[in-house]
Structure 1
Amino acid sequence: MGQANGRKSIFITGAASGMGLETARLFAGKGWFVGGYDVNEAGLKALESEIGAENCIVSRLDVTDKKAFDATVADFGKATGGKMDILFNNAGIGAGGLFEQMAFEDNLRVVQVNFIGVLNGIHAALPLLKATENALCFTTSSSSATYGMPGIAVYSATKHAVKGLTEALSIEFRLIGVRAADVLPGLIDTPILPEGAAANAPKEGMFRAIPPVEVAKVVWEAYGSDKLHWYVPPELVELDKAAGNTPELVREQLASTGPIAALIKVKEENKKA
C-alpha cells in the first residue's frame, strides 16, 4: 500500500474502468495520490500495476455497504494523513427497459448503487474532506438528470437525485469549507453502455459518443473552479435549460423519437384496429 507523503489525494469509486479509470490515470500522471475502488478486483490490480503501487491504494468496495465504505475511507485516511482533496463518487450501474416490464429488484439495485452508494460515500468521507483545505465533493450525475428519460426511468431518477443532492450540499457545505459539484455526462463510451451503443451513436451533436477521458479532464478542471454543474459535452446545458423552461415540449419530443415512440405508435394503431 502506497503513502501520499504530502501529495494531494483523490478517492475514486468505479475506478477499474471507464471514467473512473481515466480519472485515476490523469491524476496519477499529475502527481496525485490515488485511492481506487471498485467491485472489479482484476481491473484494480491492473490500475495499481499501471500507475505504481507507491502512488495509490486500491481495494474492493461495494458502495452499497456502508460499513465497508467507512472502513475503506479509514484506510485511505491512514495513507493520506487524514486528508482527502477530492471525493469522486463515480460508481454506477445501468438497467434499461420499460418500468412495467423490469424486475423490481433490478430497479432497487440501481437505486442502491447510484444513489445510496453516493450517500454512503459522502457521509463516510466528510471528516477527511472537512480536514482538507479546498476539498471537493464531486459526483457523477448524468445527462438523464436534465429530463426523465424513458427506457431508463429509475436510472434517470437516481441521477436527478444526485443532482439535487449536489445543489443542496454545495450550499450546506459552505459551513464546513467543502465544495460540492457534479458532472452530467452524455453518451460516454464505457462498459455501462449496451453493446454497440457507442458505434451506433450520432457522429455529431450532444448525444455523440464521448471518450471517458473527457470526463476525467472535467474532474481535474473542477478542482480549481467553483462551477456547480459540468456538462460533457457542454451542449447538454441546452437540454437542461429546455427541460426547465418547456418540460411539456421536451416530453413530446422524447415521445415522438426513438424506440419508445415506435412502441407508442404500435399501441395507438392497435387501438384503431
Structure 2
Amino acid sequence: MAERRCIFITGGASGIGRATARLFAERGWFVAIADVNVPGMEDTLGLLDGGFKYMHRLDVRDRAAWDDALQAAWTAAGQRIDVVVNNAGVGAGGSLSEMAPDEIDRCLDINLKGVLYGAQAAYPYLQKTAPGSALINMASAAGIAGSGGMSVYCATKFGVRAVSESLDAEWAAEGITVASICPSFIETPLLDGTGNRNSNEPIRERVRAAGLEITPVEEVAKAVWDAVHGDKLDYFVGKTSKRMAFAKRWMPGKVRKQLRNSVRPLGR
C-alpha cells in the first residue's frame, strides 16, 4: 500500500486554506494546517473526515516558528511532507500616501516575507519526497496588473509570482514542482474587510459595484490540486484573472489606460 501523502497549508482556518484542506482530505491525503486563528483551525479540522489531520499555530512572519511547525507536521504525518501551500495572507488597500508604516510592514511581512520563509523552511522536506513534491504559492490577480489604491498589496503578489518563477528554475533539477495560483476576487472573509483603517466601505461592495464576479473558493482549491499534479507555472482562477492575464500580455497599453481611468483608491 502506498504511503499517504501529506499537504501542509498555511491560512488553514478559513477561506482558500479551508477549501484546499477539505479537497485534499476527501482525496485521501494527510492534511496539516497552520494559522494564527486556533478556533478557526479547529472548525476546519471538524469538517475533515477521518483522523489523518493535524493543526499547528503558526505566525508566518516568524522564521523559527516555521521550522517548529513543519517538523511537528512531518512527525504527525508519518515523517513526510509532499506539498507546502503558502496561502496565508492579508489585504491592504488605500492611497500609499495615506497608509501607516505598520500597515505596509504587516502586508509585506505576511504576504511576501512569509512566503519566502515558508519556501526556505519547506525545502529540505520537499527534497525528501521529490520527485513529485510541490511548493504552491498563493498570488492573486493583483500580481498580474497593478491597480490604483493597491500598491502595497500588488507589490506582495507580484513578488510572490517572482519568487515562484525563481524557485521553479532553482528547484526543477530536483523534481520539486513550484507554481503560483492567481485568483480573482474569491468568496472569502477578506472581502468583508475594508482594506485599510481609513475606509468603512467593504471590499465586497467595491467589487460588486465594478461589475466583477466573485469566484467560489472551491475553484481555487481545485487549482491547487491541478498545480500539484501539473506542470504550469501560473494558474489563473476566475474570469477576471484569466481576462487580465490575456490582456496584460497582448494589450498592455489598453490595460494601462483602463487602470488609470477606472480605479479610485480605497478609502476615498
TM score, norm. by length of structure 1: 0.87
Q: Does 1:208 align with 2:213?
A: yes
Structure with bigger gyration radius: 1
Could you say what the CA RMSD is over the residues aligned between the two structures, in angstroms? 2.2
Deviation at 1:81? 3.6
Match of 1:180 among 161, 178, 189: 178
- Matched residues in 1 for 2:25 and 2:209: separation? 31
The runs of 5 or more residues in structure 1 that have no matched partner are 264-273
Question: SS at 2:73's partner residue?
Answer: helix
Q: Does 1:112 align with 2:106?
A: no
- Matched residues in 2 for 1:91 and 1:52: separation? 23
- Matched residues in 2 for 1:181 and 1:234: separation? 19
Q: Which residue of 1 aligns with 2:38?
A: 41
The answer to whether the Cα contact below 8 Å between 1:6 and 1:80 also exists between their aligned partners in 2 is no
> Deviations for 1:155-177, whole angstroms, at most 9, x for unmatched residues?
10000010011111111111222
Question: Which one-letter code corresponds to 2:161 in the other structure?
Answer: K
Deviation at 1:251? 2.2
Deviation at 1:35? 0.5
> Deviations for 1:200-247, whole angstroms, at most 9, x for unmatched residues?
645998x31011111001111222210111011156234224334544
- Matched residues in 1 for 2:227 and 2:248: separation? 24
Q: Which residue of 2 aligns with 1:51?
A: 48
The answer to whether the Cα contact below 8 Å between 1:11 and 1:87 also exists between their aligned partners in 2 is yes
Question: Which one-letter code corresponds to 1:111 in the other structure?
Answer: L
Q: Which residue of 2 aligns with 1:257?
A: 262
Deviation at 1:80? 2.7
> Deviations for 1:34-68, whole angstroms, at most 9, x for unmatched residues?
01111110011112222157211101110000111
- Matched residues in 2 for 1:100 and 1:221: separation? 39
Q: Does 1:242 align with 2:240?
A: no
Match of 1:169 among 167, 181, 188: 167
The answer to whether the Cα contact below 8 Å between 2:93 and 2:149 also exists between their aligned partners in 1 is yes
- Matched residues in 2 for 1:203 and 1:104: separation? 29
Match of 1:60 among 57, 62, 66: 57
Match of 1:123 among 106, 120, 127: 120
Question: Which one-letter code corresponds to 1:110 in the other structure?
Answer: C
The runs of 5 or more residues in structure 2 that have no matched partner are 194-201
Greater shift in the superposed pair: 11-20 or 79-88: 79-88
Match of 1:230 among 215, 231, 235: 235
Q: Which residue of 2 aligns with 1:142?
A: 140
Q: Which residue of 2 aligns with 1:269?
A: none
> Deviations for 1:100-139, whole angstroms, at most 9, x for unmatched residues?
0010110111000000000111111111101113001101
TM score, norm. by length of structure 2: 0.89
- Matched residues in 2 for 1:13 and 1:116: separation? 14
The answer to whether the Cα contact below 8 Å between 1:82 and 1:128 also exists between their aligned partners in 2 is no
